[in-house]
Amino acid sequence: MKLLYNTGLLLFRFIFSIAALFNTKARAFVNGRKNLPEKLQHAFADIQAGVIWIHCASLGEFEQGRPIIERLRSEFADKKILLTFFSPSGYEVRKNYDQADFVFYLPVDSPSHARKFIAITKPELAIFVKYEFWYNYCHELQRQHIPILSVSSIFRKDQLFFKPYGGFYRNILYTFNHFFVQNEESIALLKSIGITACTQAGDTRFDRVNQIVKQKKTIPIVQHFKGSQKVFVIGSCWPDDMDVLSPFINENYYQAKFIIAPHEIDNAFIEEIEQSLQVQCRRYSTIKPDENLDDCQVLIIDNIGMLSHLYQYGEFAYVGGAFGKGLHNILEAACYGIPIFFGNKNYQKYAEANELIMRGGAFEISDYHDLRSKYEMINIPENFMLACEVTRLYVEENLGATEKIMAYCKTLLRVS
C-alpha cells in the first residue's frame, strides 16, 4: 500500500505537470513548487527560534486555522510561524499573510520531500487543519518525535480510515498526538479504531466569524444603499443560484433591496445577472461616494474580500453553492443573527447547515416557488425574530474551540 500510495502521488504530479500547460490553477500548483527546497533553505538558513508549523489545504481550512495562528502569534512571540498550503486557492490569496513568518506551498507528499522539508524547517509542533492527513509527512514527524495535532477535524463512517481494508490510512491517524474534532460522531469513530487522544472542541470557524463581527468594517456605499430599507444579502452565488434568485428579486424588489456578491468575479456572469433583472442595479465599482442610490434596488459586488462584512447590512441572507459542488460558508451570515437560505442539492455534509435547519434558523429551498413560500413565512415578524435568535444563539453556543486547542498547545510548547 505504501508503494501504491507513493506511486499514485508521482502519477498525480505528472498529471498536474501536463494540466499546467492548459489550466491556470494547475500551472500555479506546479510553478509554486519549483525550486521549493532551495527557497526553504534560504528562508530558514539563520533561524534559531522554535518553529510552529500550521498546514491548511486551502482557503477554507486557513479560516479555520487562523484563530489558532493569531493566538500562537500573540502568546508565543518568540516562536516563528510557518504556514503551508496544498492548493493555489489558499496560497495565492494568503501568501502575504502578516501573522505568519513564512508562507509556502507544501511539497507533494513523498518520503524524500518529507525528510527534506522537516530537516530544513525543524518544527517543534505541527498542526494540520481538518482533512489533512499525509502519510510521509506524518510518519517523518513521528519518527523525529515532533508532536502532531489535528484541529477542526471531522470524521464520517464512510471514510477509508474506518473500512476493514483501510489499515494503511488508519496508520496515518495513529501518528497524531491529539485530535480536536468537531462532533461526537468523530469521537466515537476514532475510539472505534483505538484512538482515545481526542477532544470534542468544536469548529474554530465559529471563533473566526465571531472575531469578524467584532472587527467588522463599515462600508459607506453599502450603508448608503441600504438606507432604512430591509436588505437581502446574496453571498457566493453561482448561475444555478441566480436561476432561482433572479425571478425572486424581480417579484420582491419593492419589499427589500438586494446585495449580490458572486462567488467568482467574472464580467460575463455579472452581465448575465444584470440582464436577468428587471430592476435598477449597479456595480459597486461604478458608484461614487455621494451618489443618490434611492432608486437602486440591486447592488452587485464586483470585488473580492468584502462578503464577510456585507452580512451586517442584511435582514436575510442567501448563501450559494448548494445547487452545485457544495454550500459555501453560512457561518459568516449566522454570526450576524439573520435567517439564511440556500439550495437543497448539496448541503447535507455541512453540520452547521443541518443543525440550523433543525433549529429553524436556516432554510433549504428547491426552486423559486419554494424560496418565495419560505421567505413569506419567515417574513412574518414573530417568525423572523425567532429565526434571528436561533442563528445568534447557535454561534454563541459553539464558541471556544480555539481556547481548548491553545490550552493543549501551551503544555507542549512550554515543556519543549
Q: Kindly give, in sequence order, each residue whose CB lies less than 8 Å from that of residue 406, ignoring residues fewer than 6 positions away.
A: 68, 71, 72, 75
pLDDT digits (tens, 9 = 90+) for 106-140: 999 999 999 999 999 999 999 999 999 999 999 99
Query: What is the pLDDT, as a whole number, of residue 305?
Result: 83
Regarding pTM above 0.85, the answer is no
Question: What value does the mean pLDDT of the chain take?
Answer: 94
- Residue 63 reports pLDDT greater than 80: yes
The phi and psi torsions of 231 (rounded to 5 degrees) equal: -130, 140
In whole angstroms, give the CA distance from residue 156 to residue 153: 10
Dump pLDDT digits (tens) for 67-112.
Answer: 999 999 999 999 999 999 999 989 998 999 999 999 999 999 999 9
pLDDT classification of 290: cutoffs 50, 70, 90 = confident
Mean pLDDT of 392-413: 94
**Looking at residue 212, what is its pLDDT?**
84
What are 4-44's pLDDT values in tens digits? 998 999 898 889 899 888 888 899 998 999 999 999 999 99
Cβ atoms 105, 85 nearer than 8 A: yes
Please compute the mean of the pLDDT values over residues 245-258 and round it to a whole number.
95
The Cα–Cα gap between 291 and 293 comes to 6
Go through the domains of the chain in sequence order and give each one's CATH number. 2-202+400-415 (3.40.50.11720), 212-397 (3.40.50.2000)
pLDDT band at 415 (very low <50, low <70, confident <90, very high): low
Would the pLDDT of 328 be above 90?
yes
What is residue 213's predicted lDDT score, i.e. its pLDDT? 86
Region 323-352: mean pLDDT is 95
- Tell me what pLDDT residue 68 has: 96
User: Using CA atoms, how far apart are residues 61 and 93, in angstroms rounded to an integer?
Assistant: 13
Secondary structure (H, E, C), 30-74: HHCCCCHHHHHHHHCCCCCCCEEEEEECCHHHHHHHHHHHHHHHH
- Residue type at position 129: V
Residue where the block lists cell 450576524: 336
Residue 1 confidence (pLDDT): 87
Overall average pLDDT of the 283-310 stretch? 93
Percent pLDDT > 70 in the chain is 100
Q: Is the pLDDT reported for residue 416 higher than 70?
A: no
Tally of residues, the chain: 416
pLDDT in tens, 182-241: 999 999 999 999 999 999 999 999 998 888 888 889 999 999 999 999 999 999 999 999
